[in-house]
Structure 1
């Protein structure tokens, strides 16, 4: 009789200026078969500011590792969205116990994120301004969302801390983890929206896919923008289920 594998848990790592609750629509669709836990990353959502003001990609990876240990998670898949994708890859490169796969949703690449200086400065100036949060929302989404989710996305943007906001733009997004990617040994998958105006499918194909294990698929969701957990929860949940079945 084959051994029964322990249950699988998904760990959701959210996008910059978001929060863990971005994964709730996907978590609802995966339940009760697969739990999905999604912490608020340092400086975002309801997460407290760290005692030591470090918002490096490595510091975020350590936060996630501590969260997994505190929740006594056994086998798990990291689901990294945008900023969370870079953090997921940083943690996966350390080959932590229990990790069996990495699913990347419109991820920030291991290499420095493609962003013009003008866009970076505009984002720095946008901090804490609701009209700017609305402009960002319009840029990063394509599908129409219910008004409560629209407001939730704006609220998460506005409750980001200044330190975490600036640190990602000036430092985290520019970190280059490419040399560490040879240490990512677990199966991976990339899921992107074909109308992503932040990072197009070609960016993932050129910057991220070549650094991942051979055979990693690039799944494209039609008619979706950058906020896949909000815009395409059904498609994301279906692809995560299929990924879990292959592990």
Structure 2
């Protein structure tokens, strides 16, 4: 049986995260909307392809397309966070059947991600180190988080496979899919924290928003950092409900 004809959100997680990040959003959006959030290859509990070349943005988009088909989702919004945002845009550009919208949470832009060589090298050296994972947690979040959420974020970071972890830093984040954005034909929205130290709202306004359909809003969440599903689940859920209602009313 296909998933309900009401809009389902397909959650695509951030780099070095997992689908678990959408747990609070799933509870807040139920019962009106379901949230399905796969672990992307090499992260969480997902199987890890053997080759670094298997971790391209398109390879992830292929994985998500298979997931949607296997779960027989009839109507869905791609809900892409950070790295998952770029994957969502790549898949949306293919105009897949059933896609009715794209919601981006602090997304990696279609063009190469604005990351300095020093930051890239620092992240590469941090792989697998608990103290560095904890440092990253405090760098990318602003609002206080429950101890269980902090533990989950650190655990997800540490269980990332080295190939997937490094492939995004060295290759995926540098891919340029900007030319494909002209094929986007569904409503889009961007949500960003005004205190995001990784991807500031200005990055979204300058590099992503101009490539999306005319009228796409950039919603700013005050006092939040990069991990919106953890830091601001209530605000994000409200904005997603409003987005889904506008799609339904169109």
Same fold (TM over 0.5): yes
Paired residue for 2:33?
Answer: 34
Find out whether 1:23 has 2:25 as its counterpart.
no
Paired residue for 2:163?
Answer: 163
- Residues 128-148 of structure 1, C-alpha deviations (whole Å, 9 max, x = no match): 000000110010000000001
Structure 1 residues 51 and 133, CA, compared in 2 at 3 Å: closer, same or farther? closer
RMSD: 0.9
Paired residue for 2:219?
Answer: 219
Paired residue for 1:50?
Answer: 49
Quote how far apart the aligned CAs of 1:6 are. 2.5
- Whole-Å Cα distance in 1 between the matches of residues 228 and 6 of structure 2? 25
Paired residue for 2:187?
Answer: 187
Show structure 2 runs of 5+ residues with no match. Answer: none
- Residues 128-177 of structure 1, C-alpha deviations (whole Å, 9 max, x = no match): 00000011001000000000110000000000000000000000000000
Paired residue for 1:69?
Answer: 69
**SS of the counterpart of 2:55?**
coil
**SS of the counterpart of 1:160?**
coil
- Residues 83-130 of structure 1, C-alpha deviations (whole Å, 9 max, x = no match): 000000000000000000000000000000000000000000000000
Structure 1 residues 52 and 163, CA, compared in 2 at 3 Å: closer, same or farther? closer
Where does structure 1 differ by over 4 angstroms across 4 or more consecutive aligned residues?
A: none
Paired residue for 1:243?
Answer: 243
Aligned residues: 243
Quote how far apart the aligned CAs of 1:211 are. 0.2
Question: Quick check: 156-165 or 43-52, which moved more?
Answer: 43-52
Paired residue for 1:234?
Answer: 234
- Whole-Å Cα distance in 1 between the matches of residues 31 and 58 of structure 2? 32
- Whole-Å Cα distance in 1 between the matches of residues 95 and 150 of structure 2? 36
* TM-score for the superposition, normalised by structure 2: 0.96
Quote how far apart the aligned CAs of 1:52 are. 5.3
Paired residue for 1:10?
Answer: 9
Paired residue for 1:209?
Answer: 209
* TM-score for the superposition, normalised by structure 1: 0.97
